[in-house]
Amino acid sequence: MTALSDVSFRLLPGTMTALVGPSGCGKSTLLNLLGCLDLPTAGEVEIAGVVTQHLADDALTALRRDQVGSIFQAFHLISGLTLAENVAIPLQLARVARPRVAEFVQAALARVGILELADVLPSQASGGQQQRAAIARAIVRPPAVLLADEPTGSLDSHNGALVMDVLRKLADDGQTILLATHSAEAAAVCDRTLSLRDGCLIT
């Protein structure tokens, strides 16, 4: 079965694009292609000027690590680490020097509005706070694109709006964002909407 076909679009730098459509239409599949978790059987994905198809596994891993940030419906924070320690992970993987790690972590937590929660565990934070920590982790090394798969899907409307405020501010500051969502409120905050149906783009 073909999950996606005839899907062609460019994300403009510094814009936030909503990806909408019914369950099973291919939103997560498309995000996984852009996140280099999957390769297309036909067609091309280009990220930051690099076409993913013919890259070896290690080059794909590096592209994903260096150019793509991802957040998900379920936050995926590491439960035994504080929010600051979670945010530090990408910096440690990139072997950033320790004093700079602290500085970058603080800046990222401040950007998402949870600097005061640096030392709490995920279980001590609300869902909205955990999602904002996940955003901080995704942008602590600024990615070419931030991919968000249903980022407000497990939040109440108040926390969902807080998370969308954060994403909107990041886009206004130049972060390119692609956001798959079932929420009309979340799509309304975006600059542009792409509609998928049965694996095809309809707008």
Stretch touching ligand ATP by CB under 6 A, among 19-27, 47-55, 82-90, 99-107: 19-27
| 23 touches ligand ATP (CB under 6 A) | yes
Count the residues of the shown chain that bind ligand ATP, applying the rule CB under 6 A.
11
Report residue 100: phi and psi, to 5°.
-75, -30
Query: Which of residues 4 and 162 has its CB atom nearest to ligand ATP in the complex?
Result: 4
Query: Which of residues 1 and 97 has its CB atom nearest to ligand ATP in the complex?
Result: 1
Between CA 147 and CA 88 the distance in angstroms is 19
Interface of this chain with ligand ATP, residues 63 to 102, rule: CB under 6 A: none
* Residue (of 101, 98, 99, 170) closest to 132 by Cα position: 170
Site string for ligand ATP, 25-54 (x = CB under 6 A): xxxxx--------x----------------
For Mg ion, the binding residue among 19, 26, 28, 194 (CB under 5 A) is: 28
Shortest Å, Cβ 186 to Mg ion: 14
Q: Where along the sequence are the contacts to ligand ATP (CB under 6 A)?
A: 1, 3, 21, 23-29, 38
Q: Where along the sequence are the contacts to Mg ion (CB under 5 A)?
A: 27-28
